Amino acid sequence: MKRTLPEDCTEIQKQSPLASSGVYVIQPAGGSTRFKVYCELRSDGGWVVLQRRTEGVLSFHRGWRDYKYGFGSMDDDHWLGLEKVHLLTKEKYKKWTLRVDLWDHEGGAAYAEYNNFKIGSEATAYRLQVGRYSGTAGDAIRGAYAGIDQNGFGFSTIDRDNDGCSPCIFGDIAELECAFSEGGGWWYSSCGSASLNGDWHPFGDHIGWASGLHWLTWKGPAPYSLKATRMMFKTE
Ligand SMILES: [Ca+2]
């Protein structure tokens, strides 16, 4: 008999309620692709980790291919890969919640959750879709002011520009590519208020960098680079 793999981290938790967080192999519904994910198994569900930052050793200053397929190691800092998130969230019969956890350098923490989370195919530049916001960090994806909504935007990297700036004007600065100034890859929309894949900065050197880990509806307006971040998603 062919062994069937769990479709996601929620199913792992359902099959083994005592299972602990760690690296598991899953196979998204309706496909034959299987891959490793880090499952954060908690009382509020089984979460697939998309992104984790805790230090500066692993560079996030990378191109399209790395953001597509993922990089880093699953049980440490990493980026799961947009193609895998697409394969999981394209399933018609499931709905997903995205959770973003943020930690500052002073011992504080905040989070943002979005229902109806989905990532489009590569043909849409892995377009971001999020629904209703809830949480304590503010809705930085929709932005601290109008015109910078990242919901519905494609992904940009240093070698793939989908940021809507041609150029964008910020004061006396003309910005052509958000991925160059803010770093890493993100669903930049006229750059915007959220950017968690830039350069990691240690305590004491964490204020003022355009390239830092930003969630400006929680820490702003002066660019504050967060100590740690985690993005993860689970079925609703
Ligand atoms: Ca541009």
Backbone angles phi, psi at 161, to 5 degrees: -105, 105
What pLDDT is stored for residue 87 in this prediction?
96
C-alpha 185 to ligand 1 mean position (Å) = 13
CA 34 to ligand 1 centroid distance, Å: 34
- Residue of 235, 224, 190 lying closest to 102 (CA atoms): 224
**Rounded Cα distance, 153 and 170, in Å:** 20
Ligand 1 is an ion; residues with CB less than 5 A from it: 161, 163, 165, 177
* pLDDT given at position 1: 47
**Phi then psi for 169, rounded to 5 degrees?**
-105, 120
Q: Give me the residues of the chain with pLDDT under 70, please.
A: 1-3
What is the CATH number that goes with domain 9-235? 3.90.215.10
pTM of the model: 0.96
C-alpha 43/C-alpha 74 separation (Å) is 21
pLDDT in tens, 134-179: 999 999 999 988 999 999 999 999 999 999 999 999 888 888 999 9
